[in-house]
Structure 1
Amino acid sequence: MSQDALSTLLDTREWLLADGATGTTLFNMGLTSGDAPEMWNVDHPDRVRALYQGPVDAGSDLFLTNTFGGNASRLKLHEAQNRVGELNRVAAELGREVADKAGRPVIVAGSMGPTGEIMEPMGPLSFDGAVEMFHEQADALKAGGVDVLWVETISSPDEYKAAARAAELSGMPWCGTMSFDTAGRTMMGLTSADMVKLVDGLPNPPIAFGANCGVGASDLLRTVLGFAQTGTERTLIAKGNAGIPKYVEGHIHYDGTPELMADYAVMARDCGARIIGGCCGTTPEHLRHMREALETRPKGPAPTLEAIAEALGGFSSASDGTDDKGPARRERRGRRRG
């Protein structure tokens, strides 16, 4: 596929189904807590192929590589900071192999998670240092054949900007999502409206942007509505968790059923998202139901916050941070602004 295969596919489709959870799937395959998933790219390539094959078989149009923690800072925790190039390139090559055999266009997206370090002035990581770290990873993913870089679960605007710069230096198209997990804001305090301003101000904006992970599917859709209410015309991404995490017999279990995730996928589309997938807890079974729902249920108007809460469960906070009141007040303001 050409480098900008994602834009090509978006030109021909109203929505694309992304993949589900990487971590959940790998833990189900035997990864143990504290291990670096990226090592499996070299040590257990067949399991990583199976990780990618699951969403492809379930109907996903796009899947992420097993490289979320594949930057030097995160790999240093496993004394593998010198293996960034190898681990990312192999992950991408395995993905390319699976996608090219799919018999239809499937996008390989090179996952780039946060560095795990706090940026200046609060922490030790400089902007240039973050760019360098992301650039090293981006070049390796490019060498392995990804179609697009996929920056995800970012909470700091400076880190998002650094990843954007790295994509530019690598000459790669990119997408970027942030995680709004703190009363509707990112951990660093950004609201959905702040993120739209951030993306609009980038010299090298992403093909698509949005939200992933966070708390539950309801909160994530409230954030997507927040993006849409700014009037942005950029492609929006929704990758919500399969329900809320609960500890069950020593394991984290997500309570979102395939049926709930099917409702979430349709609501995400109606909220304005065009790239729709799942995050933590989302299995190929969830994805199959999501695909079927997107294909068979007609597009409707954007759901109200009440409809989202009724279908997917209540919100974790009264407001998403774009106002000082509750969600209802925000809706009125949103309509007036629109």
Structure 2
Amino acid sequence: MTNALQAMLSERDWILADGATGTNLFNMGLSSGDAPELWNVEEPEKIKALYSGAVDAGSDLFLTNTFGGNASRLKLHDAQNRVRELNIAAAHLARDIADAEDRPVIVAGSVGPTGEIMEPMGSLTHAIAVEMFHEQAAALKEGGVDVVWVETISAAEEFLAAAEAFKLADIDWCGTMSFDTAGRTMMGLTSSDLVDLVAKIENQPLAFGANCGVGASDLLRTVQGFSARGPVVPLISKGNAGIPKFHDGHIHYDGTPELMADYACLARDSGATIIGGCCGTTPEHLKAMREALETREKGPRPSLETITERLGGFSSAGDGTGEDAAKPERTRRRRRG
């Protein structure tokens, strides 16, 4: 049976995904350090408002509030035994919103990293990682998501464990990594490395790409790194709404709706099919992105100079795949909003 996202990918030149989860929930009153996933049962109307905000702004696809919904992350809040409950609750709320629309809207079950380091550098074994990802994916599937979506991954080993877990759960999936360290993931992978990794996975994703990272410019340079390799799997671009700045006791992202509209079209022209935002991206940004994608004709692949002129400069001299590969520049680490 054809997956709903697979069908949409076959019919559309671009698909608008959603924006931020964490930063939008903070704006609704979530306190720093609290588990957003608990709001799936404690504040369901706020979670439905989060989902509705994206859908009403024009998103064709949105992620569930389950980024930290695995046993390892929930253990920090003494909720490691509530994986099934919290993920099913998030998926049910999402289905309520998606199914009320008179157009197709895809519900993607968000799966974040475990927060642990895998062997041989850390203590997390492959088997335990697969078990944790499988538990979450099975719950999201039970709750009714169309696809699971692993995001903000930095290690190849964790990406592979997730792919294996999704096969066990018998559910289609997408996957993104975060390239936040001079064009590489925290564990050193480049855009080219991810293309090679995806190519050898038996359980192929419906789409793959990049999310979060440093800023929209850096993310598009990574997307161009993917597309230059000619992958057969559709690409995902989910960039932050500018750069985070601390103001009046809160983290704010400086990207305007106009900047994110430019970003969306540049992402499409760089080879991405699924285009959305990450930290700092609000419904206001999404509305501008949707309008731009609908009204601006597709253009040629933009040069790196064009990207920096429209979106701002890169945080590093290169993306880790060229002459700079041996000497990656230091850059600040990403903080999730």
Fold-level match, TM-score > 0.5?
yes
CA deviations on 1:87-139 (whole Å, 9 max, x unpaired) are: 00010010011000011100000000000000011111000100000000000
Q: State the alpha-carbon separation in 1 of the partners of residues 2 and 199 from structure 2.
A: 23
Q: State the alpha-carbon separation in 1 of the partners of residues 86 and 233 from structure 2.
A: 32
CA deviations on 1:234-254 (whole Å, 9 max, x unpaired) are: 100000000000111221110
Q: State the SS of the aligned residue for 2:34.
A: coil
Q: State the SS of the aligned residue for 1:291.
A: helix
Q: State the alpha-carbon separation in 1 of the partners of residues 33 and 232 from structure 2.
A: 40
Q: Tell me which amino acid in the other structure corresponds to 2:195.
A: V
**CA shift at 1:233, angstroms?**
2.1
The match for 1:181 is 180
**CA shift at 1:39, angstroms?**
0.1
Kept after mapping to 2: 8 A contact 1:149/1:174:
yes
Q: State the alpha-carbon separation in 2 of the partners of residues 12 and 193 from structure 1.
A: 27
The 5 A counterparts of 1:254-293 are: 254-293=253-292
**CA shift at 1:205, angstroms?**
1.3
Q: Structure 1 pair 120/325, CA: closer, same or farther in 2 (3 Å)?
A: closer
The match for 1:99 is 98
Q: Tell me which amino acid in the other structure corresponds to 1:309.
A: T
The match for 1:299 is 298
Q: Tell me which amino acid in the other structure corresponds to 1:7.
A: Q
Q: State the SS of the aligned residue for 2:301.
A: coil
The match for 1:137 is 136
**CA shift at 1:323, angstroms?**
1.0
Kept after mapping to 2: 8 A contact 1:3/1:173:
no
**Runs ≥4 in structure 1, deviation > 3 angstroms?**
none
Q: State the alpha-carbon separation in 2 of the partners of residues 325 and 12 from structure 1.
A: 39
The match for 2:117 is 118
Q: Tell me which amino acid in the other structure corresponds to 1:234.
A: V
Kept after mapping to 2: 8 A contact 1:3/1:147:
no
Q: State the alpha-carbon separation in 2 of the partners of residues 131 and 283 from structure 1.
A: 33
The match for 1:54 is 53
Q: Which 5+ residue runs of structure 2 have no aligned equivalent?
A: 326-337
The match for 2:331 is none
Q: Tell me which amino acid in the other structure corresponds to 1:101.
A: A
Answering whether residue 80 of structure 2 is matched by residue 78 of structure 1, we say: no
The 5 A counterparts of 1:196-207 are: 196-207=195-206
The match for 1:27 is 26
Q: Structure 1 pair 144/242, CA: closer, same or farther in 2 (3 Å)?
A: same
The match for 1:330 is none
**CA shift at 1:232, angstroms?**
1.2
Q: Tell me which amino acid in the other structure corresponds to 2:217.
A: S
Kept after mapping to 2: 8 A contact 1:53/1:98:
yes
Residues paired across the two proteins, number: 325
Q: State the alpha-carbon separation in 2 of the partners of residues 94 and 251 from structure 1.
A: 28
Q: State the SS of the aligned residue for 1:77.
A: helix
**CA shift at 1:3, angstroms?**
6.7
Q: State the alpha-carbon separation in 2 of the partners of residues 10 and 209 from structure 1.
A: 13
Q: State the alpha-carbon separation in 1 of the partners of residues 120 and 209 from structure 2.
A: 26
Q: State the SS of the aligned residue for 2:107.
A: strand
Answering whether residue 309 of structure 2 is matched by residue 310 of structure 1, we say: yes
Q: State the SS of the aligned residue for 1:25.
A: helix
**CA shift at 1:215, angstroms?**
0.1
Kept after mapping to 2: 8 A contact 1:270/1:300:
yes
TM-score scaled to structure 1, two decimals? 0.95
Q: State the SS of the aligned residue for 1:115.
A: coil
Q: State the alpha-carbon separation in 2 of the partners of residues 280 and 97 from structure 1.
A: 24
Answering whether residue 322 of structure 2 is matched by residue 323 of structure 1, we say: yes
The match for 1:216 is 215
**CA shift at 1:212, angstroms?**
0.1
Q: State the alpha-carbon separation in 2 of the partners of residues 229 and 314 from structure 1.
A: 21
Q: State the alpha-carbon separation in 2 of the partners of residues 97 and 108 from structure 1.
A: 10
Q: State the SS of the aligned residue for 2:299.
A: coil
Kept after mapping to 2: 8 A contact 1:185/1:191:
yes
Answering whether residue 27 of structure 2 is matched by residue 11 of structure 1, we say: no
Q: State the alpha-carbon separation in 1 of the partners of residues 202 and 127 from structure 2.
A: 16
**CA shift at 1:325, angstroms?**
3.9
The match for 1:190 is 189
Q: State the SS of the aligned residue for 2:150.
A: strand
Identity of aligned residues (%): 72
Q: Tell me which amino acid in the other structure corresponds to 1:169.
A: L
